[in-house]
Amino acid sequence: MSDNAVERQEFRKTLGQFATGVTVITTLDGEGAPIGVTASSFNSVSMDPPLILWSLAKDALSLPAYQKSGAFNVHVLSIEQDELSNLFARRGADKFGDLDFVPGVNGMPLLADCAATFQCKTRHQYDGGDHCIFVGEVLACENSDRAPLVYHGGQYAAALPRQDQGATGGDEVDLQQGSFTSDFFIYLLSRAHFQFSHALLQPDAALGLQRAAYYVVAVLCQQGGLDRAEILERIAVTGHSPSEEVFDKLCDMGFVTRSAAEGGAPDGKYTVTDEGREFQVSLLARSMDLEEQVLSGFRPEEIGLFKNMLRRLIEKTDKGLSNMWS
């Protein structure tokens, strides 16, 4: 133990603010068995000659192998390889199991499907406190367009390009003119919603259904036996208030049935029919296809971020209106 006053926990937490990638570094032991560890201490050193470094804890079981092998391969993990990272971070485990690898130009194990690889000859080894620092000369390197796995604050993360444009909210709206720019947040949200639902409902145009009719069927698929007032209350959040005519049309089409009026329900109660449910199911199937199509160009982490943002927006704007889908 040194007499340095920097508190261990604080040091670790502070280092965590430095976002890094995650690598798996492989070599061979004296018996020629493959060895590997997860390391985020990787960094570049020199362009000419091309040098990189990383550091390994002195108590790592694999340390002697790296000290003696004279070469190693660095695999920069992709966003999909978090399990590989966990596997190689397990002390002393049989990490290779039935993992596919080939010998690299330096003879060391080379794993597939990574974001990038550096095949190195060990040039220097330095003492670094409780770690040993390895400097490698790069003999070959390869990169792909796979998104890298990020490590930040002790957690895996994803790197997203910054999207500064439109984030300021500055001049999105001209209150004198009543006009707005295409950066106006509510405009972007509304336009995306309208375009999505237009593409979704367009194939049914021949049915002549008003948009409110879709909401009525959706509500009745969740719960049957509701009267008109109860249905209207659930749909209120959409801003639609379907007229008698809409309900009559849905009955005529055989999508819903209306019970005879009685004391408790002077207008009768509505229930969805098998045809109505089929209609709703086909609409949902179409929604899923459309979603897949529309989101196909986005990265999983972008979609996750976007969904989280929408959830937070829904929470923030909830004024207690009835939720038609629950």
Ligand X SMILES: Cc1cc2nc3c(=O)[nH]c(=O)nc-3n(C[C@H](O)[C@H](O)[C@H](O)COP(=O)(O)O)c2cc1C
Q: Which residue has the tokens 């982490």?
A: 301
User: Per CB under 6 A, which region of 89-97, 117-125, 192-200, 250-258 contacts ligand X?
Assistant: 89-97
Single out the residue of 92, 97, 161, 264 in contact with ligand X (rule: CB under 6 A): 92
Instruction: Name which of 53 and 235 has its Cβ closer to ligand X.
Output: 53
Q: Report the first-to-last Cα separation within the chain, whole angstroms.
A: 59
Q: For residue 65, give Cα distances in angstroms to 32, 188, 196, 292.
A: 10, 56, 57, 47
Instruction: Name which of 72 and 151 has its Cβ closer to ligand X.
Output: 151
Binding mask 4-33 for ligand X (x = CB under 6 A): ------------------x-----------
Tell me the residue type at 16. Answer: G
Other C-beta atoms closer than 10 Å to the C-beta of 254 total 12
User: Per CB under 6 A, which region of 84-92, 159-167, 202-210, 305-313 contacts ligand X?
Assistant: 84-92
Is residue 151 a contact point for ligand X (CB under 6 A)?
A: yes
Q: Which residue has the tokens 């207008």?
A: 267
Q: For residue 18, give Cα distances in angstroms to 41, 89, 315.
A: 11, 19, 32
Report, in Å, the least distance between residue 142 CB and ligand X: 22
Instruction: Name which of 22 and 256 has its Cβ closer to ligand X.
Output: 22
What is the DSSP secondary structure assignment for residue 78, as one 8-state letter?
A: B
Single out the residue of 12, 13, 68, 90 in contact with ligand X (rule: CB under 6 A): 90
Cα separation, 87 vs 274, in Å, equals 50
User: Per CB under 6 A, which region of 88-96, 168-176, 230-238, 311-319 contacts ligand X?
Assistant: 88-96
Q: Retrieve residue 230's tokens.
A: 């109860």
| Burial zone of 108 (CB within 10 Å; 0-12 exposed, 13-18 middle, 19+ buried) | buried
Is residue 215 a contact point for ligand X (CB under 6 A)?
A: no
Instruction: Name which of 62 and 117 has its Cβ closer to ligand X.
Output: 62
Contacting ligand X within 27-66 (CB under 6 A): 37-41, 55-57, 60-62
List of residues contacting ligand X (CB under 6 A): 22, 37-41, 55-57, 60-62, 85, 89-92, 151
